[in-house]
Structure 1
Amino acid sequence: MSPLIAPTPATQVIGLIGGLSWKSSAEYYRLINEEVVRRRGGMHSARCLMWSFDFADIEVLQRTDRWDEAAHLMVDAAQRLQRGGADFLVIATNTMHITAPHIEAAVDLPLLHIADTAAAPIKAAGLRRVGLLGTAFTMEGDFYTGRMARQHGLDVIVPAPADRATVHRIIYDELVQGRVVDASRQAYRQVIERLVARGAEAILLGCTEIMLLVGQQDSPVPLYDTTALHASAAVLRALSAGA
Structure 2
Amino acid sequence: MHKLGLIGGLSWTSTARYYQLINEAVHRARGGQHSAPLIIESLDFAEIGRSSSEADWVHAADVLIGSARRLEQAGAEAILICANSMHRVYDLVQGAIAIPVIHIADTVGRRMKADGVEKVALIGTRNVMTEKFYRQRLVSHGISLLPADLELADRIDRIVYDELTVGKVSRESERYMKSELTDIAKEDVQAAVLACTELELIVDLKANVLPIYDGTSIHAKAGVDLILGQ
Pairwise same-fold verdict (TM > 0.5)? yes
Q: Larger deviation: 193-202 or 45-54?
A: 193-202
Q: How far apart, in 2, do the equivalents of 1:102 and 1:170 lie?
A: 29
Alignment of 1:94-173 (within 5 A): 94-149=84-139, 151-173=140-162
Runs of 4+ in structure 1 deviating by more than 4 angstroms, as ranges, are none
Aligned length: 229
Tell me the secondary structure at the aligned position of residue 15 of structure 1. Answer: strand
Q: How far apart, in 1, do the equivalents of 2:189 and 2:176 lie?
A: 17
Q: How far apart, in 2, do the equivalents of 1:19 and 1:133 lie?
A: 21
What's the % identity of the aligned pairs?
38
Q: CA deviation at 1:16?
A: 0.5
1:57 aligns with 2:57: no
Provide the residue aligned with 1:187 in structure 2: 176
Per-residue deviation, residues 137-193 of structure 1 (Å, max 9, x unmatched): 1111101011110x2010122542212211221111111111111111111122222
- Letter paired with 1:49: I
**One of 76, 87, 100 as aligned partner of 1:86:** 76
Q: CA deviation at 1:216?
A: 2.6
CA-based RMSD: 1.4
- Letter paired with 1:94: N
CA contact (8 A) 2:48 2:59 kept: no
TM-score by length of 2: 0.95
Q: Larger deviation: 28-37 or 167-176?
A: 167-176
Q: How far apart, in 2, do the equivalents of 1:203 and 1:82 lie?
A: 34
Q: How far apart, in 2, do the equivalents of 1:187 and 1:64 lie?
A: 29
Provide the residue aligned with 2:219 in structure 1: 230
- Letter paired with 2:107: T
Per-residue deviation, residues 96-149 of structure 1 (Å, max 9, x unmatched): 011110011110011111011111221122111111111111111101011110
Provide the residue aligned with 1:3 in structure 2: none
Tell me the secondary structure at the aligned position of residue 49 of structure 2. Answer: helix
Unaligned ranges ≥5, structure 2: none
Q: How far apart, in 2, do the equivalents of 1:221 and 1:159 lie?
A: 18
CA contact (8 A) 2:126 2:150 kept: no
Provide the residue aligned with 1:6 in structure 2: none
Q: How far apart, in 1, do the equivalents of 2:147 and 2:14 lie?
A: 22
1:205 aligns with 2:194: yes
- Letter paired with 1:215: D
CA contact (8 A) 1:132 1:159 kept: yes
CA contact (8 A) 2:4 2:79 kept: yes
CA contact (8 A) 1:16 1:50 kept: yes
Per-residue deviation, residues 19-49 of structure 1 (Å, max 9, x unmatched): 0000000010111000000111111111110
Q: CA deviation at 1:224?
A: 1.1
CA contact (8 A) 2:182 2:210 kept: no
Tell me the secondary structure at the aligned position of residue 224 of structure 1. Answer: strand
Q: Which has the larger radius of gyration?
A: 1
TM-score by length of 1: 0.90
